Structure formats: C-alpha cells, structure tokens
Amino acid sequence: MRESLVAAAFQLFVERGYEQTTVDDIVALAGVGRRSFFRYFPSKEDVVFPDHEGCLAEMTAFLRDSGPTHEPVERVCDAARLVLRMYAENPAFSVQRYRLTRKVPGLRTYELSVVWRYERALAEYLRGRFTGRPDGTLQADVIAAAVVAAHNNGLRSWLRSDGRSDATAEVDHALAHVQRAFGPDSATHGPAREPEAPDGGRDDDVVVVVSRRGAPLWRVVQEIETMLARDPD
Amino acid sequence: MRESLVAAAFQLFVERGYEQTTVDDIVALAGVGRRSFFRYFPSKEDVVFPDHEGCLAEMTAFLRDSGPTHEPVERVCDAARLVLRMYAENPAFSVQRYRLTRKVPGLRTYELSVVWRYERALAEYLRGRFTGRPDGTLQADVIAAAVVAAHNNGLRSWLRSDGRSDATAEVDHALAHVQRAFGPDSATHGPAREPEAPDGGRDDDVVVVVSRRGAPLWRVVQEIETMLARDPD
C-alpha cells in the first residue's frame, strides 16, 4: 500500500509536475482512499521522502549504540553512510527524486529540514563525545557540518551520473577528506585500519619534517601526509 | 513604514504568538493597508527576517569584488562576518527573533533555507577560486559548510547570552577554528595579519618537527601550531 502510493505519486509528479498533482490524484491512481494516504504520509511532501524518518531513527540508534572505543569522527562518517545506503538501494527512485527536488522549491526546503535533522543527530553525538574538551561544541558542530557537506557532495556526484558511478566510492572519497582534516589518524584507533607504511615503518618510527616558518600550514600538513603515506588519493 | 510593520509584527508575535497573529492584525496595529505589507514582504514569514535579502546581496557583492590576492578561506570568513554584523547591529531584535524562531517550526524551516543560500554563496565563490584543484568542489563545499557552522555556533552563543557577550569575539574565535583547519596560514597572504613570532622569527626561518609515525595527524598539527606561535587561543 505504502509503496504503491509512492509509485503512483512519482508517476504523476513526472507526468504532470509536482505542483499540478493533488493527493486526490495520487489516491485515485493508487486505487485507495484519502485516509489511507494520510495514514502513511502527513502531507504530499512526505511522499517524496518516504524513507528519511526510518533512516533518521536508524542513525540515532547507531550513534546511541556507540562505545567509547569508537573514534568519534569515523563514527559519524559511518553514520552518514547509512543515508547513502538508503539512496543507493534504489538508484532509479533516488535519481528521479533528485531531479524533482531541484525543480520544486518547496521540496528543496523540505529536504533542507531533513538534512538539518541528520546534521543535528551527528552534532549531538559528537558534543557528547567531546564533553570536557575545550571548544567541544564548536568542534562538534563544525565536524558534523563538514561530514554532511562531504556526504552530500559525493551523493550528488552519484545522482548527477544518473546512478551510474560508484556511490560508495564517491562518498568514501569525500568523507576521507573530512577524516583527514579532523579525525585523529585512524592508526591510533585500531591496527585493522592502519595502512602499512611503504617502508614497513612502525608506529614508533621517528619522522622529521623541515619547513620554512612562512610556509602555509596546509602545505606542511600535505608534506607530512605524503611522508606518512597516509593519503590514499 | 517597513520598520513600523516589523515592529508591529514582533509586538504581536510576542504578545499572542506567531501562529495566532495574522497579516491583518499586523497592518491594523501599524495603521497601514494590507497592500503596503505585501509591498515589503511576500509573506508573514518574511517579516521575521527583514534584512536577510539585503545581507545576501551584500555578501554576493563582497565575494564578487574579491581579488586573486585574497586568501579564499579568510575571504569567506570575512563574508560570514557580514551576517554577524547584521545581527549585532540590533541585539534586542536579534535575541527576540532567536527565541521566536526556536518556538515556531515554520520559521525554523524558513531560516534553514536562508542559511542554505548563504552557504551556497560561499561555496560558489570557493569553487571558483579552487578551479583546477583536485577535489576543488568538494573542498569548497566542506569549507563553506564549516564556516557557516562555526559562524552559527558563535552567533548562537551570543544570542543565548541575550546579546550580553561579545558577538565579534565569539564569532572570531569560532572562525579561527575553521581557518586553522582549512586555511593556508595567513602569514603568506599579508604581513598585516601575521602575528610576530615570539623569538622575532622570520618567514624563512627553518622549523623542524620531530614526531612518532604513529602520532595522530591532528596532534602533529597542534604541535606545529604551537611552535609557530600562530594559535591565538
């Protein structure tokens, strides 16, 4: 019932346009009554994003079930991957919705409020993990925003390829960027994720970096990353 | 006229609540006709955020007038400061609106769409500046999101203090966090902003960092920052 309402709605949105389609049109095509529609969806907008509530609940549970050994930035990146999975499970639907959302300002606004709820869930988790750190809430908010922006950048690349590129690779690449900027190197949090240094170097090897004082910090970091062979790009 | 409509609207929002106030109520209190209201504001929501369109236009012009010598991350931080200035110019109004926005979900959604437009303006500028860089659009999107999150973190601290704390200091502190994470050190982009090294060191001084290979990257960066005495916190 729920699926057939979504299917009928999207068929009409594509044929007639979103604004020109009423709930009555949708229930007529799906062959059900208005009350059935509103049992599943509070409004016409909700039928466009039928899985976000479930995904938000899943993300919240995933973060709640985190332990103190989970590296926080890695954990929120993994939480963001739950959203990607929802999109990637149904590429045709996701691509169709992407096109629709770009055309209808009301849907774009609705989507922003959903994205904001994901971002708040990530930020709340990080705030908890960063309790007692100087600037803990600031760091939490900035990292949550960066993770969401990176995830959405990767997701949109995939959607713009009409679902033909590798969604997981796109998002992994984007999230790795955030992890490099903010995450403690995963090497300190579990050997399973530690890339082998090219010379077989061990954790207690000493690395020396020499830099001009005037060099921009990002250049210095880039040099260090290269030396540590930790940049997978 | 515009100001008296805003004043009448807020008086009623506070007295009766936002949802219970109609445009008719507002124009009656302001002593003008409905058409005057809609000449200034497309909807009741717009009267809550009367200055954002102007601020967005100002930000767009500010970014458009940037030159190639402007350090891009610093430039978007300065662009974000234009938003702060708008809030800080009218503390009582900003605090009142903050309380209202938190209570009314429709206003919260409206605000999200405004914030999104600021973020897109920053991201578009950065995308232009990062053209040809590997992952330029990804970097642009992540930095824009981080700048907006940091700005809003500082802004909210100030709003929660009922406008009593130092708005500029709050936001400067938050933005400095993003500049440390993403900005090339400002030392390479203008001596006016370069803090004097404690030993009077010059740009072409050589800095040596020794680190264990297993140390998390953020710890290494922290050490470098401390050595360079470029961390104002």
* pLDDT in the model for residue A231: 39
pLDDT band (50, 70, 90) for residue A223: low
Q: Find all residues with CB under 8 Å of B91, minimum gap 6, and list them.
A: B163, B167
**Is this model's pTM higher than 0.90 or not?**
no
> What CATH number is attached to the domain comprising A127?
1.10.357.10
Read off the pLDDT of residues A28-68 as tens digits, 9 standing for 90 and up: 999 999 999 999 998 888 898 888 999 999 999 999 999 99
Does B208 have pLDDT greater than 80?
Answer: no
Q: Considering only alpha carbons, which residue of chain A is nearest residue B221? A: A221
Tokens read off for B192: 């006016």
More confident residue, B14 or A26: A26
Residue A233 is assigned to a structural domain of this protein:
no
- Looking at the structure, tell me whether residues A69 and A146 fall in a common domain: yes
Query: B207, A185: Cβ pair inside 8 Å?
Result: no
Phi and psi at A211, nearest 5°, equal: -145, 150
More confident residue, A195 or B131: B131
- Looking at the structure, tell me whether residues A88 and A203 fall in a common domain: no
Q: Does B196 touch chain A (CB under 8 A)?
A: no
* pLDDT in the model for residue B40: 92
Does B233 have pLDDT greater than 60?
Answer: no
Q: Looking at A81-90, B97-106, B155-164, B172-181, which range is the least confident one?
A: B97-106
Query: B212, A219: Cβ pair inside 8 Å?
Result: no
- Looking at the structure, tell me whether residues A74 and A131 fall in a common domain: yes
Question: What average pLDDT does this structure show over A100-114?
Answer: 89
* Mean of pLDDT over chain B: 84
* pLDDT in the model for residue B57: 97
- Looking at the structure, tell me whether residues B40 and B62 fall in a common domain: no
Q: Which of B46, B64, B83 lies at the terminal end of a domain, its last residue?
A: B46
Does A188 have pLDDT greater than 60?
Answer: no
- Looking at the structure, tell me whether residues B108 and B176 fall in a common domain: yes
- Looking at the structure, tell me whether residues A130 and A209 fall in a common domain: no
Contacts of A134 in chain B (CB under 8 A): 233
* pLDDT in the model for residue A106: 83
Q: Please state the domain count of chain B.
A: 3
Q: List, as ranges, residues 80-119 from B with C-beta within 8 Å of A.
A: 108-109, 112-113, 116
The 3 state secondary structure assigned to B149-184 is HHHHHHHHHHHHCCCCCCHHHHHHHHHHHHHHHHCC
Tokens read off for B17: 């609540």
* pLDDT in the model for residue A205: 53
Per the structure, the complete domain to which residue B230 belongs is given by: 196-233
- Looking at the structure, tell me whether residues B116 and B157 fall in a common domain: yes
- Looking at the structure, tell me whether residues B58 and B154 fall in a common domain: yes
Percent of chain A with pLDDT over 90: 63
Query: Rounded CA gap, B179 and B171, in Å?
Result: 12
Does B213 have pLDDT greater than 70?
Answer: no
- Looking at the structure, tell me whether residues A158 and A212 fall in a common domain: no
Count how many Cα atoms sit within 13 Å of the Cα of residue A121 in the half-sphere of its side chain: 26
- Looking at the structure, tell me whether residues A75 and A115 fall in a common domain: yes
* Mean of pLDDT over chain A: 84
- Looking at the structure, tell me whether residues A32 and A103 fall in a common domain: no
Q: List, as ranges, residues 142-181 from A with C-beta within 8 Å of B.
A: 142, 144-146, 148-150, 152-154, 173-174, 177-178, 180-181
Contacts of B108 in chain A (CB under 8 A): 113
- Looking at the structure, tell me whether residues A157 and A91 fall in a common domain: yes
Residue A203, helix vs strand vs coil: coil
More confident residue, B119 or B187: B119
* pLDDT in the model for residue B188: 32
Query: B181, A180: Cβ pair inside 8 Å?
Result: no
Residue A54 is assigned to a structural domain of this protein:
yes
